[in-house]
Amino acid sequence: MKKMILSAGVLLFALSVVGDELGDAVKFHVPFENNFNAAVAEGDEKGAPAGKSIFVDGVYGKAICSGKGGTAIRFMRENNIDFDNPGTVNIWFKIDCKHGTQGPAIPFWGIGGDANKAIMTVGVLNDPMKVCPCRRQTGILLISKKRPKYAKAYAVNSGARRICSNWHLMSTAWSGNKLFVSLDGTPYRSFELDKPLSNAELGYQKRFAAGWSYERWGYAIDEFTVFSKKLSDAEIQKIYEDGMKNLNKGK
């Protein structure tokens, strides 16, 4: 039987972000309210940060800065991210980038393994490096020695959404041998793998990471949430619309 640590305050905040109807599906939620505590596996009550912790205004309350000058936060994988069963990860992001600036990939969250295991990252992908993030693909990159080629699950090209500014929602999901990607609540794009993703394939690493702490654009992340099911198109659209409504309050 799995053991989870989820404070009443975190649970109530998670419900306010995703809605009561999805509350039972929330496995892990980090609101970044001036800290990086989360619902984590038994024995590790707090994320392990790398870099400088700087909190800024987010989608709901506070967000944390990542990338150049910011931090990455490592959390326990056990009981939180389960690739043996369907799931979804949502993360809001805001890139601090002058339109047209070039640079490397921007990983919003990911899991890395040793030389014999897989590496999976979710964010703005690397190629082509010489163009603005909003001219690049956004989605999943899975590199695995157990697969014949890289699995790249791309969201729609982000050009029309100008992701080099403002807040955006990145949703990634998995079920069986399919990966799913959505940007800003749009219907998923699905990508079929040669075989299902699994916990074993992702390797020995005890932790997964949210954010990055060096050699990237500065950006902020907020409301990192893991669900124990693949959310529907309607569910991720509502989460996005509710977040945008909250951002627009008082403007």
> What pLDDT was estimated at residue 104?
78
Beta bridge partners of 62: 57
Instruction: Locate 164 and state its tokens.
Output: 């080099």
Name the band, by pLDDT with cuts 50, 70 and 90, for residue 3.
very low
Q: 7-45: b or e for each residue (b if 16 or more CB lie within 10 Å)?
A: eeebeebbbebbeeebeebbbbbbbbbeebbbbbbeebe
pLDDT, one tens digit per residue, over 101-137 is: 777 788 899 987 655 678 888 998 876 777 788 778 8
pLDDT, one tens digit per residue, over 175-218 is: 999 999 999 999 998 888 888 888 888 876 778 889 987 766 78
- The predicted model scores a pTM of 0.88
If you count them, how many residues does the chain have?
251
> What pLDDT was estimated at residue 85?
95
pLDDT, one tens digit per residue, over 143-154 is: 887 777 666 666
- Mean pLDDT over all residues of the chain? 82
Query: Cβ distance 106 to 66 under 8 Å?
Result: no
The number of helix segments (H) and strand segments (E) in the chain equals: 2, 17
Cis peptide before 86 (omega within 30 of 0): no
Q: Rounded to a whole number, what is the distance in angstroms from the first to the last CA of the chain?
A: 47
Query: Cβ distance 13 to 32 under 8 Å?
Result: no
Query: Cβ distance 6 to 24 under 8 Å?
Result: no
pLDDT over 90 at 59, yes or no:
yes
Q: How far apart are CA 92 and CA 195, in angstroms?
A: 29
Phi-psi category of 103—alpha, beta or left, where left has phi over 0 and alpha has psi -120 to 50? left
Name the band, by pLDDT with cuts 50, 70 and 90, for residue 60.
very high
> What pLDDT was estimated at residue 249?
85
| Residue 170 CB burial class (10 angstroms; 0-12, 13-18, ≥19) | buried
Eight-state DSSP code of residue 128 = S
pLDDT over 60 at 45, yes or no:
no
- When comparing pLDDT for 96 and 223, which is higher? 223
> What pLDDT was estimated at residue 57?
94
Name the band, by pLDDT with cuts 50, 70 and 90, for residue 52.
confident
Half-sphere exposure of residue 159: CA atoms within 13 angstroms, side-chain side:
4
Work out the number of other CB atoms within 10 angstroms of the CB of residue 106.
25
Domains of the chain plus CATH, in order, are 4-248 (2.60.120.200)
Half-sphere exposure of residue 248: CA atoms within 13 angstroms, side-chain side:
6
Element (H, E) at 115: none
> What pLDDT was estimated at residue 118?
80
* Nearest alpha carbon to residue 211 among 55, 16, 19: 55
